[in-house]
Amino acid sequence: MAEVLTFGEPMGLMVADEVRPLKDVEHFTRYVCGAEVNFCIGLARLGHSVAYVSRVGRDPFGAHIRDFLETNRIDARYVEQDEEWLTGMQLKAKVEAGDPEVVNFRKCTAFSHFSPDDLKTINWEGVRHVHVTGIPVALSTNCRAASVLFMKLARQHGVQISFDPNLRPALWRDKQEMVHAMNELAAMADIVLPGIGEGKLLTGREEAGEIADFFLGGVTHTVILKVGSKGAFCKCSGGRFFESDGFLVEHVVDTVGAGDGFAVGVVSALLEGLSLQQALKRGNAIGALAVMSFGDNEGLPTRVQLDAFMSKQKG
């Protein structure tokens, strides 16, 4: 049985083979993308058992995604196949520096028709952790309801919950609605993992400590802010706080997936009984590895690769 569950939309990803505006690109290479996909792959490569709760279409992209998950040792038993609606898709530009141009095709996709009733099939036996992002709630009313219920079910079963806002403003028609929805989910999580920019937007506060204070309280006992190349800042209930420096990145190839890699590092470390300080350090390491590779999840390391990278940086 899986020790970790996550919920979200996997998509077919077509990455440009040449550095040109997307409208001019003639050849693409196929991958699989999705914040939660990246999280699953990262955990699986470190030896953790993880299951993905989702829905794809009964189409070539959907079939490929299911094969891809299983090849990467991710439990796909909760990935339903929709007979009517198609799998989402994304186009991504190839860049030599900075963030790539990305175009999503995810309106009325199979996953956007996921409903709270679809969560009834989950077997919670042995589940230790649930990871949720803020992406599904932006896709449809029923996906938002399913996200909330997913977290409530995890709480009822005594499962620890982490939440990464993973903001996608382009998916929202109203900024205030987005902020309200994100903060609603954050208040249901034990651990909240925003980027510093996301934290400022969601709280209206500027300093890391003040942003953390906004989220702390209720069931939320730990807030970890990603601060890019500077590393991470963590504050816990009771006022304890600390920082962790980032790792040296010689050349940034693709920034997509760095935040998901950070979440992998934090969650995997905590599952293994490591301290929060060690969890932040591992998160920073995997985030650094992620930005040095093309694709959304190609840079996520195995245990051997992670240990080698951290040892090299230490030396």
What CA–CA distance (Å, rounded) separates 228 from 126? 34
Q: Collect all residues with Cβ–Cβ distance below 8 Å to 78 and sequence separation of at least 6.
A: 5, 51, 52, 53, 54, 121, 122
Retrieve residue 126's tokens.
């042995």
Contact 253, 19 (CB under 8 A): no
Catalytic choice (164, 260, 296, 307): 260
Closest CA to 133 of 206, 59, 195, 221: 195
Q: Is 260 a catalytic residue?
A: yes
Q: What angle do CA 113, 114, 119 make, to 5 degrees?
A: 160
Contact 14, 22 (CB under 8 A): no
Closest CA to 90 of 16, 164, 2, 176: 16
Closest CA to 108 of 133, 82, 76: 82
Catalytically active residues, by annotation? 260
